């Protein structure tokens, strides 16, 4: 009986730690995966013009795989990249994001001050 109680306590602590970790992470708006050089939105909505820009950057830099995520920031949505994107490729995607990105967007379902 003591072992069962200890296992339940460990499971409860693990659940609390995982919940706290997930609550502290920034919200993800979208994810684009590059597979065989072709970008595909696998989560969320992405403007076709932004997908075209990621496709062009992937072609220009010879990217066969990788990912780009739109992450909630204090002011709008920022981009996070997988290690496959070189610094130059990242900057080119950021430049395209500046033209077609959501600078003032708020996550759906969240209310409050802008």
Quote the strand ranges of the chain, DSSP E: 28-35, 38-43, 65-72, 77-81
Judged on CB neighbours under 10 Å (0-12, 13-18, 19+), 55 is middle
Judged on CB neighbours under 10 Å (0-12, 13-18, 19+), 100 is middle
pLDDT digits (tens, 9 = 90+) for 46-80: 889 999 999 999 999 999 999 999 998 877 888 99
CA-CA distances (angstroms) from residue 20 to 17, 87, 100? Answer: 5, 32, 33
Residue count (the chain):
114
CA distance 79 to 93: 9
Share of the chain above pLDDT 70, in %: 82
């Amino acid at each position: 009986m003591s072992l069962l109680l200890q296992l339940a306590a460990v499971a409860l602590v693990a659940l609390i730690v995982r919940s706290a970790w997930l609550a502290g992470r920034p919200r993800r708006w979208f994810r684009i995966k590059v597979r065989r050089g072709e970008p595909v939105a696998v989560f969320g909505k992405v403007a076709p013009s932004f997908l075209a820009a990621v496709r062009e950057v992937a072609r220009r830099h010879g990217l066969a795989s990788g990912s780009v995520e739109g992450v909630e920031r204090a002011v709008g949505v920022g981009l996070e990249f997988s290690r496959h994107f070189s610094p130059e490729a990242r900057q080119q995607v950021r430049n395209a994001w500046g033209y077609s990105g959501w600078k003032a967007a708020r996550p759906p379902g969240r209310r409050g001050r802008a």
